[in-house]
Structure 1
Amino acid sequence: MKGIIVGGGIIGLSIARELNKLGYEITILEKNLLGRGASWAAGGMLAPQAEGLTGDFLNFSVESREMYKEFVQQIEKETGYEVSYYECGIVCPAFSEKEMENLFKRVDYYNKLGLESKILTRQEILDMGIKISNFVIGGAFFPHDKQVDNRKLVVSLVKYAKNSNITVKELTEVKFIEVNNGIFQRVVTNNGTFEADFCVLAAGAWSGELEPIKVFPIKGQMLSFKTKIKNEISKILYSSRAYIIPRKDSNLVVVGATQENVFFKEGNTVSGIFLLLKGLLETLPSTKDYEITETWYGFRPATPDGLPILGKSEIKNLYYATGHYRNGILLAPITAKLITQLIHKGEESPYLKMFDFSRFYIKEE
């Protein structure tokens, strides 16, 4: 059976890998280069607790987080490429009594659910070797949140795709998805027409341009810098001012991220980078003389409620896997699993019903 994946980011690549293992003939259509969109621009945090997620979306996200170790181990075995998965835990610094109060509530909520969390005093953060500023009054620690080097993960998934019998078509922009009598037929691109038995739309922030679904871009600017010694910063720091992500066994640190509703406006801006540097220095003033190594930006696929759009569409044999917003890296394993189960076995997880595209449309009686 033949399938087309529209979009070669981490979601599309992960789904293609799962379907390929089951013997499907998969073609990935990517308008630019595989994995060089939001997946490349991301921070790589696997952080449902630091993000403050709740309810069913928390359960969904924690389930995916707990899939990650095996997910990475399998990919490393398949490709021989080290992905750099790091169970470092995340500290959320508080800069005000109000932020501290919110962290107390969050820690209590998670501990009652059996998700280990801990309130930290200012001194306890300092005792972890983190040189926080005088603005930080305390915080919380989420030991089971972690990170993956998203760029290394993307490189490994691209290696898998190109070394397997998956057909990869880069610089191939989809013009439209052709339907006949409510059934998916083919995909028309600037590089020819592709027919298949089914299609998965995983085009990230561009998904809303191909199908009438509520996905739109939110721009995020980021930067990185080098510390003087490896592992100088031992934990991810995640706050309202910035998130600061030290890479495993490295002196590279990633800082993010702005959230800008500017459509697809390209480029880093003075104000965007200033905001990141301000957040960094208000958290870790000792970094002021360190070398900035890179600045970049990407476009997250957002939806009106911040939740992904997954599962069936109104068109038979056309499926959605998009709108992951800030959590595309985190949710790649579980998204690939559920979309594959839906296509291969017709199994529709309760999660897919929760993330159905139709939730944004008023149902007529």
Structure 2
Amino acid sequence: MLSSCCRYFPSICQCSRTICSIKLFSGERDNRLQHTVKRHYGTPLTDPENKGGQQRGVNFDTLGSWNNRLDMPIMMNESIKRGNLIPEIPFEHVGIDSLLGRRKVNEDRYFMEKISPTLLCFAVFDGHGGSVVSDFVSKVLTDHIKFWLLRETDLCTVLSQAFIDVNNMLARHSYFYSLDTKEFQAGTTATVCLLRDGIELAIGHVGDSRAILCREGLALRLSEDHVPENHREKDRVHQQGGIISHNSQGVWQVNGRLSMTRSLGDIELKKYGVTAHPYLTTKTLKHGKDAFLVLTTDGVNFVLNDQELIDIICCCSTPQEAASFVTDQALHFGSEDNSTAIVIPLGAWGKYRTTLRAIPYSFGRNLVRGRYS
């Protein structure tokens, strides 16, 4: 029997003879070799980009979709056309909040409108010198956007023309109807976003309100602050005869009146370089990486930097909770202005959930800077 085994399994038999001879030589007992079977549990599928600590096991991003905690419908035609799943953004999922703060009147305005089945519009306005201009612009701007959409396909051109048209309307009204009053010496910022086919984003912007995109958990600013501290804006105002100076509080102003270099309204300062031509930018959304778009007025921006704002929103469960939390924190951190926030969820909403690490940092920073003194 042994010889037949050696014939078919020579290597095993040779190894067995060697082991037996070693044991006999050393005087050890010839015990049966035992092997304990160890059970190896398979590790669950995870996404290395998924920074959300609460997401475990298999997630949709691993399977080629997005890890989204909102029930968002799919835009079937665009998804088939582009080969990627593109979510539709229902207005009931968009978070909006506006606080009076420590002011007597809330001069902030906002709107969102579905201009066509494939085109959404979101906007925030921060009025100064009264709310009449921000009120007026928020009511008529979409009419001009619709007018130019019938004549142009480029969204940036549409926004630029709409901004100029609305400002010209303000100038005509100021000249013919309000020449002897001060109500149309007011102005407003404007940050307007057009989202076409759920993926093509265009932004037109004047003033110091902001549009910030959360991509892979990081802040990506899509607007530019039009303030005298901006060297390009400062040079442009100087070339058109404007004077940049600072007041007793150290705030830089144009002709001692306005702390921004672009706005809608402020008709008397237009000849000194305070233009209504918007800063324009476009961005193609990546719903597997982009979590949300947030629009804010300077009541929020004054006390929270871009990444702090993103971290705060990432820790919230819903966009409405996030918008309310942002304005509450702005008030808590000492903002004296009206604060408004619009949080627009995108495909990766809930993917980059973080802790509240931004809040202590902001609070300490504000104390050091003496904003409570």
TM-score class, shorter-chain normalisation, is under 0.3
Greater Rg over alpha carbons, structure = 2
TM-score by length of 2: 0.22
Higher RCO (Cα < 8 Å, 6 or more apart): 1
Higher strand share: 1
TM-score by length of 1: 0.22
